[in-house]
């Protein structure tokens, strides 16, 4: 059976060492067997099965494993919602007037038939 090596993107580099430390069967050179990978997937809470992939005898820790959404993502998302809500509050009377005009025009057309 061929050996597998842990690799990661530059963003995930700091996450490789905890995985190595969690595997007592892992050799010092960072080589994993398929059995070791199964143990990672089964035993470690922090490594979900779908976050490790085997590609060409490499254990690839995907981006989702390495990083949770940052706080700036949530701040940006929250600010975007505030802008949308403020826009709705500001333009709501205009939208209501336009809607009322459309309804009135439709009623007039129906009445004129």
The Cα–Cα gap between 66 and 86 comes to 35
Q: 61-88, pLDDT tens digit by residue? A: 554 444 555 677 788 888 999 999 988 8
Give the residue among 56, 59, 14 at the shortest CA–CA distance from 36: 59
Q: Which two tokens stand for residue 111?
A: 């009445």
* pTM value surpassing 0.85: no
DSSP labels for 45-113?
SSS-GGGEEEETTEEEE-HHHH-PPPHHHHHHHHHHHHHHHHHHHHHHHHHHHHHHHHHHHHHHHHHH-
Spell out the domain ranges in the chain.
4-66, 69-113
pLDDT category, 96, cuts 50, 70, 90?
confident
Q: Which two tokens stand for residue 53?
A: 């992939």
């Amino acid at each position: 059976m061929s050996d597998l090596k842990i690799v990661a993107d530059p963003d995930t580099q700091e996450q490789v060492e905890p995985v190595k430390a969690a595997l007592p069967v892992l050799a010092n050179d960072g080589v994993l067997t398929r059995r070791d990978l199964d143990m990672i997937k089964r035993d470690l809470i922090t490594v979900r099965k779908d976050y490790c992939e085997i590609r060409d005898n490499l254990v690839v820790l995907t981006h989702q494993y390495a990083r949770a959404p940052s706080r700036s993502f949530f701040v940006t998302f929250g600010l975007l919602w505030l802008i949308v809500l403020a826009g709705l509050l500001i333009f709501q009377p205009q939208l209501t007037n336009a809607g009322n005009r459309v309804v009135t025009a439709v009623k007039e057309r129906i009445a004129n038939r």
